């Protein structure tokens, strides 16, 4: 039984991850339990890795990479290298010496690699880079045949063949060859010759029925039909109006247009073409009235009628200056076979070449020559495929290690040496640097899933005005607090290429950011509550005062002067209320002083411990809840919302979260000049603390606490005399607040 591969694991993010330290590790990934893979799928777009590489790995072209596809890519690359350990190097260029030419596939790949270097003008190079294989048009720039089944002018060796290739492109269209030049496919060749044959057959049919189809000769009939087609709708309209007037003479005035219509036109400048009257009848209509071909006719159509008289009426009926409706029908009947033949026209795509050129092409052997060129090109299909395989090998050589350390494990994310492929850049906002930033397509949809991550997330619109580029990102804030983070705040985002983007917060998913924020959260909430209450009371008082002022002003204007002179009575209820309030405040202050005095009797350290206990009781619930949430922050939902399938609880706890975001700090060795002339005049806490300590020491001295260590002359009893009972700190039973 073959010995099983020995794996090594490392622990990060709260779970075990496999180490990939050798080519053997990569080649045995198919035997690693899928439950131990960090991810089971990732998208092929929106990541900081070459999307072309991901497209090559994505064999089923569904836009997602799964373990089987990654294992297949590793197997292909490892099999063509002399040392599979080279796959972990992640180098941008593949040394030709690393290709294993001991097997048939490797030998073909090495030959193709050398051919590529020769084609791009680097025949002596020993290294093949991704850039060398990325530009197909550069590789095949001067090649007549490249195995793609497309032929270009360069494929032909004679001018007649090159000419027909140009004509096919002109009539049918083209597709780009691997060299980048316009070319034609076999189906385009077939379509061109099918069109040519159809046109020729149609043309031959006209020749066979030439007497009926071309009564005035080829050119004469074509000219006659052309002028007839141009004026036919107006001629039919004229005779239809004449028939209506014959049916009912009362319609004659209406069918000849009303006088007011001409009056409206008379107000404008009329040109000889008179486009304004183009919709009017050709001439004045009446019962059985013939159509004049010259003279009193609509000026907008006078030229067309003159052409009709010369090109159609004269050759068929003889010279006429007017025609009746029956004569018009006779003219139409004469050219009806030609019009029917024209309606059956086929091969319209090649008509521009003309009947002579089309027949010349059909009578030659150009069709066979073109197909021979296609066959010659397709004979190199295997070589072209091997060039694509070379591209795969070069790209896998560079990118497989990067993909594995962000798919099989999340080494790049957790070791912090290099950003992971899903981290798209760095956001600077509110004196913070956020490194966990991901591209998103739809913030609203993304937030539904990503909100389960337990992290404080900000969604931002990013724009670059100089290039009109736009994108949306989500950034995780894992340090500092959220006091100054709000929708609409602006920052700067730097992508992985170092380009800067204007970034604006458009949506926030609120969660704890840090323990420090949680510690001060109850006090900040209390202050905000007080501010809100004060603002509400102040707004209500302001509104009440405004209403009273308005009422007083109205009363003043309308009141009698004698009444205004009467002094206002004092509201006894108000006085009583003020007294009650003053008594309550006095009682509260007395009780507070009593409790403080009682606490102070415990000593300095017990007093500080008591105060610390109070702070502990207030802050710890918030801190504990925040700590629990911070420990559970999970990268999985954030990535899953972007199309990943994360297979583990990829946590970023408090210590690791501190590495993903950082708050502004002064550089080491910096000096701070604290003389700010515009600083707010705050409360003198230091002086107050010193005064409090002095008073406390004096209080303890007056109570005799230091008599054991002081000389008799410095004792409180010697200097102060008898003390009041309530002032004796050593007898707590005598203290009554």
pLDDT at 17: 95
Distances (CA, A) of 82 to 33, 91, 270, 310, 688: 27, 16, 89, 87, 78
pLDDT at 611: 64
pLDDT at 13: 87
Angle between helices 354-363 and 159-171 (to 10 degrees): 130
Torsion of CA 439, 444, 445, 450, to 10 degrees: 70
pLDDT in tens, 416-437: 888 999 999 999 999 999 999 9
| Whole-number Å distance between alpha carbons of 624 and 612 | 17
pLDDT at 268: 60
Domain boundaries, the chain: 9-142+381-413, 153-208+358-378, 215-346, 422-511+633-663, 693-737
Name the token pair of 1.
Answer: 């039984």
Distances (CA, A) of 270 to 174, 261, 264, 266, 296: 49, 14, 11, 8, 17
Give me the DSSP letters along 527-565.
Answer: HHHHHHHHHHHHHHHHHHHHHHHHHHHHHHHHS-HHHHH
Give me the DSSP letters along 128-174.
Answer: EEHHHHH-HHHHTTT-S--SSS-B-GGG-SSHHHHHHHHHHHHHT--
Report how far apart the first and last C-alpha atoms of the chain are (Å, whole number).
Answer: 89
| Whole-number Å distance between alpha carbons of 517 and 520 | 6
All residue ranges of the chain with pLDDT < 50 are 1-2, 272, 561-577, 580-581, 726-727, 730-737
Name the token pair of 707.
Answer: 């008599």
Give me the DSSP letters along 91-133.
Answer: -SEEEGGGB-TTSHHHHHHHHHHHHHHHHTT-TT-SEEEHHHH
| Whole-number Å distance between alpha carbons of 392 and 385 | 11
pLDDT at 270: 52
pLDDT at 616: 65
Q: Is 47 helix (H, G, I), strand (E, B) or coil?
A: coil
pLDDT in tens, 273-316: 556 678 888 899 999 999 999 888 888 899 999 999 999 999 99
pLDDT at 180: 84
> DSSP assignment, residue 313?
I
Residue 390 exposure: Cα atoms within 13 Å on the Cβ side: 33
| Whole-number Å distance between alpha carbons of 183 and 185 | 7
pLDDT at 732: 47
| Cα–Cα nearest to 339, from 464, 437, 228 | 228
Give me the DSSP letters along 614-650.
Answer: HHHHHHHHHHHHHHHHHHT-BHHHHHHTTT-EE-S--
Using alpha carbons only, what angle is made at residue 395 by residues 394 and 400, rounded to the nearest 5 degrees?
115
pLDDT at 583: 55
Three-state helix/strand/coil letters over 408-431: CCCHHHHHCCCCCCCCCEEEEECC
pLDDT at 528: 66
Find out whether 361 and 195 touch, Cβ atoms under 8 Å: no
């Amino acid at each position: 039984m073959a010995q099983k591969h020995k794996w090594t694991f490392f622990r990060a993010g709260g779970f075990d991850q496999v180490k990939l330290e050798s080519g053997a590790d990569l080649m045995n990934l198919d035997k690693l339990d899928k439950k131990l893979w960090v991810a089971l799928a990732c998208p092929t777009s929106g990541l900081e890795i070459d999307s072309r590489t991901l497209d090559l790995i994505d064999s089923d072209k569904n836009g997602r990479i799964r373990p089987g596809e990654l294992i297949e890519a590793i197997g292909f690359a490892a099999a063509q290298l002399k040392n599979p350990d080279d796959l972990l190097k992640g180098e941008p260029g593949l040394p030709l010496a690393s290709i294993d030419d001991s097997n048939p596939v490797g030998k073909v790949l090495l030959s193709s690699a050398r051919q590529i270097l020769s084609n791009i003008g680097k025949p002596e190079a020993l290294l093949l880079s991704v850039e060398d294989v990325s530009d197909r048009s550069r590789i095949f720039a001067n090649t007549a045949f490249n195995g793609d089944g497309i032929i270009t002018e360069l494929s032909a060796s004679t001018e007649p063949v090159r000419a027909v290739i140009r004509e096919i492109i002109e009539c049918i269209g083209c597709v780009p060859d691997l060299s980048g030049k316009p070319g034609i496919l076999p189906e385009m060749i077939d379509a061109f010759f099918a069109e040519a044959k159809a046109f020729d057959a149609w043309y031959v049919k006209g020749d066979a029925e030439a007497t009926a189809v071309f009564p005035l000769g080829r050119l004469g009939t074509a000219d006659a039909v052309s002028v007839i087609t141009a004026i036919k709708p107006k001629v039919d309209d004229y005779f239809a109006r004449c028939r209506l007037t014959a049916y009912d003479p009362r319609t004659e005035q209406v069918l000849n247009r009303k006088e007011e219509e001409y009056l409206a036109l008379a107000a404008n400048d009329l040109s000889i073409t008179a486009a304004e009257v183009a919709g009017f009848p050709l001439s004045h209509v009446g019962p059985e009235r013939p159509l004049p071909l010259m003279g009193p006719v609509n000026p907008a159509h006078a030229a067309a009628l003159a052409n009709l008289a010369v090109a159609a009426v004269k050759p068929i009926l003889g010279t006429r200056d007017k025609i009746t409706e029956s004569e018009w029908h006779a003219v139409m009947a004469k050219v009806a076979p030609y019009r029917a033949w024209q309606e059956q026209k086929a091969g319209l795509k090649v008509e521009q070449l003309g009947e002579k050129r089309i027949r010349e092409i059909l009578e030659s052997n150009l069709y066979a020559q073109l197909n021979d060129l296609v066959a010659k090109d397709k004979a190199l299909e295997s070589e072209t495929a091997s060039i694509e395989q070379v591209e795969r090998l070069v790209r896998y050589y560079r990118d497989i290690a990067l993909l594995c350390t962000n798919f099989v494990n999340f080494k790049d994310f957790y070791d912090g040496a290099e950003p992971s492929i899903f981290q798209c850049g760095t956001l600077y906002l509110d004196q913070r640097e956020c490194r966990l930033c991901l591209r998103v397509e739809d913030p609203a949809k993304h937030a539904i899933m990503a909100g389960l991550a337990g992290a404080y997330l900000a969604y931002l619109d990013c724009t670059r005005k100089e290039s009109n580029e736009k994108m949306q990102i989500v950034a995780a804030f894992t340090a500092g607090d959220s006091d100054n983070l709000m929708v609409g705040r602006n920052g700067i985002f730097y992508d992985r290429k170092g380009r800067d983007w204007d970034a604006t917060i458009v949506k926030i998913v609120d969660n704890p950011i840090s323990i420090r924020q949680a510690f001060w959260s109850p006090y900040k909430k209390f202050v905000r509550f007080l501010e809100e209450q004060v603002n509400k009371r102040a707004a209500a008082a302001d509104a009440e005062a405004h209403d009273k002022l308005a009422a007083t002003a109205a009363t003043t204007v309308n009141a009698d002067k004698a009444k205004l002179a009467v002094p206002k009575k004092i509201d006894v209820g108000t006085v009583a209320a003020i007294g009650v309030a003053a008594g309550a405040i006095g009682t509260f202050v007395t009780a507070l002083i009593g409790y403080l005095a009682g606490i102070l009797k415990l000593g300095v350290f017990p007093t500080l411990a008591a105060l610390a206990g109070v702070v502990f009781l207030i802050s710890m619930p918030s801190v504990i809840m925040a700590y629990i949430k911070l420990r559970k922050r999970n990268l999985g939902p954030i990535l899953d919302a972007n199309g990943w399938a994360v297979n583990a609880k990829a946590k970023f706890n408090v210590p690791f979260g501190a590495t993903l975001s950082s708050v502004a700090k002064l550089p080491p060795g910096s000096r701070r000049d604290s003389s700010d002339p515009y600083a707010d005049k705050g409360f003198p806490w230091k002086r107050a603390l010193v005064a409090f300590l002095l008073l406390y020491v004096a209080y303890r001295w007056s109570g005799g606490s230091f008599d054991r260590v002081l000389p008799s002359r410095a004792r409180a009893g010697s200097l102060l005399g008898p003390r009041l009972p309530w002032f004796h700190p050593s007898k707590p039973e005598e203290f009554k607040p």
